[in-house]
Amino acid sequence: MTIRPQTPEDAAAIRQVNEEAFGSTVEADLVARLHSREAFTLSLVATGEDGVVGHILFSPVTIESESLSFTAMGLGPMAVLPAHQGRGIGSQLVRAGLEECKRLGHEIVVVLGHPDYYPRFGFVPASTYGIKCEYEVPDEAFMVSGLREGTLAGRSGTVKYQPEFNEA
């Protein structure tokens, strides 16, 4: 398995991975909008003998409070073809993505995801730090990770996603 940055030639395969993994076109359409507007920071694919079998996307979000506003990374979607799930591909994508975000100088990542999956990568409920999602979501499913020690100290607010997340 190889994890690498996506190329323009991967677009159809990325769409297929997201459609099959989520059983709908919602996430695939979101990825396509973010890609078409270059409104993402990092897009990685997992490739193997079957071509592209997994994909992860990181895009900028803003965390705002009354006194502070700062940029963080939003992880998602992350998808693996159903026939390849349970083999650690998603974990490899998450670890590689977080490492690259850190290398690029990003300090905080938020994710709306499965509360039994993401804590293994250092994510905790965002409410622990006074961070909440602009959408109504289950508290345990909205999580945050500080990529460097101490980066979450004193930071709180509401995560605002890009307009592309709200389009139908």
Tell me, what CATH number does 74's domain have?
A: 3.40.630.30
- Domain housing 35: 2-165
For residues 100 and 84, give the distance between their C-alpha atoms in angstroms, rounded to a whole number: 23
| Low-confidence winner among 3-7, 48-52, 53-57, 123-127 (lowest mean pLDDT) | 48-52
Q: pLDDT tens across 80-139, in order?
A: 999 999 999 999 999 999 999 999 999 999 999 999 999 999 999 999 999 999 999 999
CA 130 to chain centre: 20
For residues 168 and 164, give the distance between their C-alpha atoms in angstroms, rounded to a whole number: 9
pLDDT band at 68 (very low <50, low <70, confident <90, very high): confident
Main-chain dihedrals φ then ψ at residue 9, nearest 5 degrees? -70, -15
For residues 38 and 59, give the distance between their C-alpha atoms in angstroms, rounded to a whole number: 10
Mean pLDDT computed over 69-78: 95
Judged against a pLDDT cut of 80, whether residue 17 lies above it is answered with: yes
Total number of domains in the chain: 1
Q: Which residues pair with 78 in a beta bridge?
A: 56
